[in-house]
Amino acid sequence: MDILAKLLNDKLAFAEISYTIEEAKSISDSNKIPIMICSEILKENEPFAHSWDVTSDSIAAYIASLLDAKLLIATDVNGIYTKDPSLSGAELIKEIDVNELLTFEESSIDLMLPSLLIEYGLDCYVVNGEYPKRVLSIINNEDCSFEYTFIRNGND
C-alpha cells in the first residue's frame, strides 16, 4: 500500500505525500491532494484487530472519520448487488441502510465496513472506479445519473 502511494505521488504534480492527519489537512488546505501513507497512522493508533475482514475499505472509513471527509469506495463493479453481479438475476442496489447491509454475508465491500460506518456515523458511496468521471462526479456533488450504491447511515 505504501509503495503504491509513493508511485502515485511521483506521477501527480498536484499531490503530496502525507504521514499524519495534520499533514493531510495542511496539504489539502494548500489546494494539493494528500496521498496518505496510512500504515504510519495505523501503526500509531491500531484501530483494528488483525483480520481478513479488514481491507482498504475499512482503512478508508477510519481515515475519513479522522478527516471528517466524504467516504467513497471505488470498486471494479457499479456498486453493491443483491448477489454476485456475475450471476444471472443480480440487481444493483441503488441505496441501502447500513443496518440492512450488516446482514449481507458478502458484497463488493469488506465485511467490517458496515460496522465502522455505524461507529463513525458515516455514509458511503460505492462506485465503479474504472470510470474516473463517476468518482469525480460524486466527489464534486455533480450530476450522478450513473449506477452506484449509496450506503445510508441510519443514525443521521
97 found inside a domain: yes
Q: In sequence order, what are the residues at sequence separation of 6 or more whose Cβ sits closer than 8 angstroms to the Cβ of residue 82?
A: 89, 90, 91, 93
- Which residues constitute the domain of residue 78? 69-156
CATH code of the domain in which 87 resides = 3.40.1160.10
36 found inside a domain: no
* CA atoms within 13 A of residue 33's CA, in its CB half-sphere: 11
Give the per-residue pLDDT at 156: 52
What are the pLDDT digits (tens) for 19-66? 998 999 999 899 998 888 888 787 777 777 777 667 788 889 999 999
134 found inside a domain: yes
**How many domains does the structure of the chain reveal?**
1
The terminus-to-terminus CA distance of the chain in angstroms comes to: 32
Its pTM stands at 0.83
39 found inside a domain: no
- Measuring CA to CA, which residue among 129, 4, 72, 70 is closest to residue 15? 4
16 found inside a domain: no
